[in-house]
């Protein structure tokens, strides 16, 4: 019996939006779904118990960070990442590529926020060759070579349910020729990743702790539609992949990101769950689900919380608890929110915690933001199932 399955349960009649069930050995994910970032095998300021209480379905960890600290071997000795961090639900790891190249060039999310000038090239990324990526550890400066084979071996040790091929996350500021060459190399890396993945598919000879895992391919091609077409064809025809992720550069503005993601998604069939790497602000999600994106990951819910920002149902999307207007406000963040933070704490108390530099403030806002994202996704799923997504979006911002 295959412990992985992807099933679309409902199509919207007005867009490519769909609900689905993504089955993994650690449980089912109702899609569209938000994947929360537990970069270093921990959600920021949030226990797995709190994440579960706030309806989180799936957590992502980063191969790049975990290979450097604590190393995948000790995770495997625990019986894998689930046991290491005490999360028994579905998990995903990226391949390490995204992080290495983000540290080298700046992240895709930074780029679409309009940073037209490339970041000064970081000294952490040394060089990219056919073999793999040579980089320095951000912790101690030690040089590491990550190859497709090593990335998969490490992800096997870590043992997340869903794992990704190794790729170069091509930046925006390069020309089309670089983007194309990089894409072809990532395709070759993709094949090597899939070959390495196949070696231990029976898990009898598994070097690590992994139980059954499924592999995602990554669609490259930057902002060039013809390259994206080629990459889609490559990924679908390879037959290697359970899921597909949209990677690489998404342009230098939100408009460009929207355009290219809509284009890519429109070319995909229904056979694979589709993941968009590193993008997932609430305002974006409404558009992205309409184009057929099934899962999102973004550090924003927990990162915003650390800066005192609580997510709310407005186009602006958040309030900052540190603002003195909340000093004497006895209301919760959102009077209609059922999260434990909104049920038990006033804006005034949360403001006090931030003024007093009490770490509890980070916990409480993080809990709210996780609950909020899951409430948004649940609301969107219901709207798709009831086929009234457009109306639901209006109501969301009016309520």
Compute the least distance from the CB of residue 91 to its own copies, in Å.
Answer: 15
Closest CA to 212 of 5, 48, 20: 5
Q: Is residue 161 flagged as an active site residue?
A: no
- Give dist(CA 349, CA 356) in Å, integer: 10
Determine if 70 is a binding residue for its own copies (CB under 8 A).
yes
Report residue 100: phi and psi, to 5°.
Answer: -60, -45
- x/- track of binding to its own copies for residues 308-337 (CB under 8 A): -------------------xx-x-------
Residues 146-185 interacting with its own copies (rule: CB under 8 A): none
* CB closer to its own copies out of 42 and 299: 42
Ranges of H-type helices in the chain: 48-53, 63-68, 72-77, 81-85, 97-105, 108-112, 148-158, 176-199, 225-238, 254-266, 282-290, 300-306, 340-344, 347-355, 360-385, 389-398
Determine if 134 is a binding residue for its own copies (CB under 8 A).
no
Compute the least distance from the CB of residue 277 to its own copies, in Å.
Answer: 22
**Cα of 174 vs its chain's centroid, Å:** 24
Compute the least distance from the CB of residue 314 to its own copies, in Å.
Answer: 26
Binding piece for its own copies, criterion CB under 8 A, among 41-49, 121-129, 191-199, 275-283: 41-49
Binding piece for its own copies, criterion CB under 8 A, among 104-112, 251-259, 350-358, 374-382: 350-358
Determine if 340 is a binding residue for its own copies (CB under 8 A).
yes
Binding test (CB under 8 A) with its own copies, winner from 64, 135, 166, 345: 345
CB 341 within 8 A of CB 333: yes
CB 366 within 8 A of CB 43: yes
Q: How many CB atoms lie within 10 A of CB 368?
A: 27
Longest CA span, the chain: 62
Compute the least distance from the CB of residue 213 to its own copies, in Å.
Answer: 21
Determine if 42 is a binding residue for its own copies (CB under 8 A).
yes
**DSSP bridge partners of 21:** 7, 30
Compute the least distance from the CB of residue 304 to its own copies, in Å.
Answer: 15
Closest CA to 65 of 167, 125, 154, 186: 154
Q: Is residue 167 flagged as an active site residue?
A: no
Residues 81-120 interacting with its own copies (rule: CB under 8 A): 84-86
Determine if 7 is a binding residue for its own copies (CB under 8 A).
no
Compute the least distance from the CB of residue 37 to its own copies, in Å.
Answer: 12
**Cα of 186 vs its chain's centroid, Å:** 19
Q: Which residues bind its own copies (CB under 8 A)?
A: 40-47, 49, 65, 69-70, 74, 77-78, 84-86, 327-328, 330, 340, 344-346, 348-349, 351-353, 355-356, 358-364
């Amino acid at each position: 019996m295959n412990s992985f399955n992807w099933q679309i349960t409902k199509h919207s009649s007005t867009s490519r939006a769909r609900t689905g069930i993504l089955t993994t050995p650690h449980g089912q994910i109702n899609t569209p779904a938000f994947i929360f970032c537990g970069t270093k095998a921990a959600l920021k300021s949030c226990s797995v118990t709190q994440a579960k209480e706030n309806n989180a379905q799936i957590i992502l960890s980063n191969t790049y960070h975990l290979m450097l600290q604590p190393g995948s071997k000790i995770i495997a000795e625990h019986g894998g990442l689930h046991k290491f961090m005490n999360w028994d639900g579905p998990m995903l790891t990226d391949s390490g590529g995204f992080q290495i190249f983000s540290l080298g060039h700046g992240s895709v999310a930074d780029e679409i926020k309009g940073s037209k000038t490339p970041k000064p090239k970081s000294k952490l990324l040394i060089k990219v060759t056919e073999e793999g990526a040579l980089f320095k550890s951000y912790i101690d400066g030690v040089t590491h070579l990550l190859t497709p084979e090593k990335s998969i071996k490490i992800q096997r040790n870590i043992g997340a349910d869903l794992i990704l091929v190794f790729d170069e996350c091509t930046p925006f500021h390069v020309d089309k020729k670089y983007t194309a060459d990089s894409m072809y190399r990532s395709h070759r890396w993709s094949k090597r990743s899939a070959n390495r993945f196949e070696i231990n598919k029976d898990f009898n000879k598994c070097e690590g702790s992994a139980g059954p895992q499924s592999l995602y391919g990554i669609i490259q091609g930057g902002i060039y539609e013809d390259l994206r077409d080629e990459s889609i064809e490559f990924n679908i025809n390879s037959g290697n992949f359970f899921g597909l992720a949209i990677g690489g550069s998404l342009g230098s503005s939100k408009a460009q990101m929207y355009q290219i993601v809509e284009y890519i998604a429109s070319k995909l069939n229904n056979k694979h769950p589709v993941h968009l790497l590193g993008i997932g602000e609430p305002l974006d999600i409404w558009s992205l689900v309409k184009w057929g994106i099934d899962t999102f990951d973004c550090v924003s819910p927990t990162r915003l919380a650390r800066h005192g920002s609580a997510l709310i149902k407005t186009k602006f999307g958040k309030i900052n608890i540190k603002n003195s207007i909340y000093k004497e406000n006895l209301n919760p963040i959102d009077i209609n929110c059922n999260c434990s933070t909104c049920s038990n704490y006033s804006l005034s108390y949360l403001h006090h915690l931030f003024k007093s530099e009490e770490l509890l403030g980070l916990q409480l806002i993080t809990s709210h933001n996780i609950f909020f994202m899951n409430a948004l996704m649940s609301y969107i799923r219901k709207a798709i199932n009831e086929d009234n997504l457009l109306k639901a979006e209006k109501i969301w911002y009016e309520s």
